[in-house]
Structure 1
Amino acid sequence: MRELSGIDGNSPEVVLARLRLALSGEGPAILPMALGGVPPVPLGEVPRTVAVVIETSGSTGVPKRVMLSTDALLAGAAASSVALGGPGQWVLALPTHYVAGVQVLVRSIAAETLPVVLEPGHFDPEAFVAAAQRLTEPLRYTSLVPVQLARLVQAAEARGEVLDVLRRFTAILVGGQAIDPELIRRAEALDIHLVRTYGSSETAGGCVYNGRPIGNTRVREAVVDGSRQLEISGAVLAEGYLGDPALTQERFIDEHGERWFRTGDIGAVDAETGIVQVYGRADNVIISGGVKVSLDAVERAVNAMQGLGAAVAVWAPDEHWGQVPVVVTDTVDHPGLQAVRDVVGAQVAKSARPARIVVIDELPRLSSGKVNRQLLVRMLSS
């Protein structure tokens, strides 16, 4: 067994130094924590192979502590390097208590380059551009969530010097959540090299780039609880969940000597091309009037509408139907409830038509950039 130490995730330089020791085996395993000012805290023990423990965001469920081995983290970094065209220098723009932030540091350690660190807190395009201008290596990378990319694209559309900086990146990885297709089109129109990533803490971060598995990652469809869900195998898989052997056994299955992770994501793998498509979470489903309604399907239909690209679909209690879909947006000038209901009814199902549109000043977000859906549900239920 090996000691596990909680460290301050708001100090990227400290995380980088402690991560080096953890990966080399010279120091304890680490759990970067979201709270600032946290001194090293003993948190018990983990299996000797584990180098990093990541606490999932819990944006749609209960947070879990995912145990990642040195081998899994380095396998993810190596696969990323090959897929992107070689090792390079990174701008760290994500929190280090999330797997995407940790992987930027792991890739930097593996490439023997020093990452340029953006100060934690509110994402400022100007600060990002200043950080990017400090890169010195020929191959340049960063990893972002969609809300960060949206702010950079908006700045690049207005200012040529911002665009010049973004075009110098060999690749800008973007993932962590669904991406508005219009945002992708805008970025591609500016000739910004985007790489859309798919993965999770349980796969040591992104392991599918632009729909294609990287490294020795394999993705397949499997029928789980009546829906076709994605399962992933490969060297990047986590060891399991800290302190939860039952959940580990449920989500990580062994089949003929090969481990597979049940992602809980509804998706498809093209039989000819192998391209992976992700449609949404299997657990992001409500029962409205006795009928199952996928909130992710509602959200996809709504986001395709002009003027509602930043909207999210959550549920609210209803005396008659039990639960109903509700669209929440920060856009005042939206198409209107009837137009939204017509589109969702035609593309998804009549039972999926939103009951109302709620306009708020700003969508609440977690530090990872994901919308805090649990908070929105509590707001609508109060």
Structure 2
Amino acid sequence: MPTAREPRPGALRSRELRELPVPAGAAALTVLPDLRRALSGEGPALLPVPAGTDPAPALGAGEPLESDADDPADPTALVIATSGSTGTPKGVLLPATALRASAESTHRHLGGPGHWLLAMPAHHIAGIQVLVRSLIAGTDPDAVDASDGFRPDRFAEAAQRTLTTRGRHYTALVPTQLHRLLDDASAGLEALRGFDAVLLGGAATPPALLRRARETGVRVVTTYGMSETSGGCVYDGVPLDGVRVRVEAPSGAAESGVAESCAPGPVSLSGPTLARGYRRQAPAAAFDDGWFRTGDLGRWSGDRLEIVGRADDLIITGGVNIAPAQVERVLGELDGVREVCVLGVDDAEWGQAVVAAVVPADPAAPPRAEALRAAVRAEAGPAAVPKRVEFLAELPLRGPGKPDRRALRSTLHQ
């Protein structure tokens, strides 16, 4: 049974950061005792990593937490390693109270505590939160055997164990997993319909996928959040209890319930689920006076938050700003498109050129590139039209399911 690895000889044993090797698939449940101790403050802070790998040295596994990285009254329970889109490792310091607040708010939003099925890697925040929620609820989670990749039949097998328990039933997926279950149209999809809520996050959800899932009878709840907010903290565009959302629009900051709508702007989050910062980094500009600057762009649609993309993904082509998410939404609604990722690549004439990487629903019969361009021109304007459309068998991914734009950009430059 994997357990948190002991610190190196001579290291202080009081509130050290200890590496927690997390196995793949169903074996991930073996970390529950260590996780329980971390949440109670009886054990060390834990740095979850995939079993068989070593954490980045900069994260300091096996070494004591600095005074600004811990608090005796609210001990740091987890340090989640995240590279984001830059590849530079950061350790997100998550207090036990933040993790508990996230779990408890999630259960209130969904209708009460329940039994959870783990279907994602548990060294990422979305996966380990499934285990945290189970501990907070006092229920025994199940897990999908994904040691050889995510398969609908394995999901169905694990789901049957979960769904036979009394009470409410939940799971969490990324859009790629939902795609596979919807395409399976057999036991996997039937099992998915049995859950009281299916949290969907980790990457932007194509509107067509969301509509298809709900029309099929799947109770999907879209989530927005990140490691710095203990996972999802905005469900179906609505902040969880105590969570505050601020959009810095050109006309001024607007919080939910303050303005009916506003132009897109940088999104900041605050509330009880917030991390205390990053380990071994000076007070980051991202954390300021109880707020976390996400780096995302969003806007209010009534009282619901809509994320339009990352600020650093913004494409400036011919002097016009284009949000990739806007183009992705148009293309994702079209017949024949399974997945899409839009990015800007350097271009001598335009500064950046809009390029669309498309995974066709039927690789043998991809949609016509000109038809895709025409749809974007009609919906988003001529500046947003992709200069290139590349058809791929699949998108490169990072983390639990986000498109890896750096890897994709490298592929498109080849």
Could you tell me the TM-score, scaled by structure 1's length? Answer: 0.90
3-state SS of the aligned residue for 2:62?
strand
Conserved? CA contact 2:142–2:158, under 8 Å: yes
1:32 corresponding residue in structure 2: 48
For residue 329 of structure 2, the aligned residue among 285, 289, 300 is 300
How much does 1:89 deviate?
0.9
Q: What corresponds to 2:291 in structure 1?
A: 260
Aligned to 1:374: 406
Deviation at 1:327, TM superposition (A): 0.9
Shift of 1:288: 2.4
Task: Output the amino acid matched with 2:379.
Answer: Q
Structure 1: segments with no counterpart, 5+ residues: none
Task: Describe the shift of the 1:162–1:227 C-alpha distance in structure 2 as closer, same or farther (beyond 3 A).
Answer: closer
What is the 5 A alignment of 1:1-382? 2-10=15-23, 12-34=28-50, 36=52, 41-45=61-65, 46-48=69-71, 49-59=75-85, 62-121=88-147, 122-135=149-162, 136-155=165-184, 157=185, 159=186, 161-223=187-249, 228-247=265-284, 250-254=285-289, 259-271=290-302, 274-331=303-360, 332=363, 333-382=365-414
Aligned equivalents of 2:389, 2:117: Cα separation in 1: 38
| Mean CA deviation greater in 11-20 or 67-76 | 11-20
Provide the alpha-carbon RMSD of the alignment. Answer: 2.4
Give, as a single letter, the amino acid of the residue that structure 2 aligns with 1:252: F
Bigger Cα displacement from structure 2, 97-106 vs 69-78? 97-106
Structure 1 residues 211-240: Cα deviation after superposition (integer angstroms, max 9, x where no partner): 111121121222489961222211001111
8 Å contact from structure 1 (residues 15, 32) kept in 2: no
Residues 341 and 358 in structure 2, CA contact (< 8 A), matched pair in contact too: yes
Offset at 1:166?
2.0
Partner-residue secondary structure (3-state), 1:191: coil
* CA distance in 1 between partners of 2:215 and 2:301 (Å): 27
Paired position in structure 1 for 2:259: none
Aligned length: 371
- Bigger shift: 335-344 or 366-375? 335-344
Q: 1:170 to 1:228 in 2, by over 3 A?
A: same
Are 2:308 and 2:323, in contact at CA under 8 Å, matched by a contact in 1? no
CA apart distance, 1:84: 0.8
Per-residue deviation at 1:360?
2.1
Cα distance in structure 1, aligned partners of 2:322 and 2:306: 20
Identity score, percent: 42
Q: Distance in 2 between matches of 1:57 and 1:340?
A: 33
The structural deviation recorded for 1:321 is 2.3
Measure, in 2, the Cα distance between the counterparts of 1:322 and 1:209. 37
Counterparts of 2:212 and 2:157, CA distance in 1: 22
1:174-211, Cα deviation, whole Å (9 max, x unpaired) = 11111122222222122221111111111111111111
Is the 1:327–1:354 contact (alpha carbons within 8 Å) kept by the matching residues of 2?
Answer: yes
Q: 1:317 is matched by which residue type in structure 2? A: D
Amino acid at match of 1:253: D
Partners of 2:379 and 2:359 lie apart in 1 by: 23
TM-fit CA distance, 1:268: 1.8
1:350 Cα deviation from its structure 2 partner: 2.4
CA 1:19–1:148: 2 relative to 1, 3 Å: same
Q: Is the 8 A contact 1:71 1:235 kept in 2?
A: yes
Change (3 A) 1:37 1:326: closer
Is the deviation greater in 311-320 or in 89-98? 311-320
Contact 2:103–2:136 under 8 Å retained in 1: yes
Q: Does the 8 A contact of 2:222 with 2:236 survive in 1?
A: yes
Report which stretch shifted further, 284-293 or 310-319: 284-293
Superposed CA offset, 1:79-129 (max 9, x none): 011111111111111111211111101100001111102234410111111
1:267 is paired with a residue of what secondary structure?
strand
- Which secondary structure state, in structure 1, belongs to the residue aligned with residue 398 of structure 2? coil
Tell me how far apart the structure 2 counterparts of residues 220 and 74 of structure 1 sit (CA, whole Å). 23
The one-letter amino acid paired with 2:306 is Q
Output one character per residue of 1:22-59: Cα deviation in whole Å (capped at 9) or x when no partner.
Answer: 11111111111135365995144241321111122524
Distance across 1 between alignment mates of 2:355 and 2:271: 38
The 8 Å contact of residues 60 and 373 in structure 1, kept in 2 or not, is answered as no
Give the 3-state SS of the residue equivalent to 2:395 in structure 1.
Answer: coil
Partners of 2:264 and 2:299 within 8 A in 1: no
SS at match of 2:161: coil
Change (3 A) 1:44 1:65: same
Runs ≥4 residues deviating over 3 A: 37-41, 59-63, 161-164, 223-227, 332-335
Once residues 63 and 315 of structure 1 are traced to their aligned partners in structure 2, the CA distance between those partners, rounded to angstroms, is: 24
Amino acid at match of 1:346: A
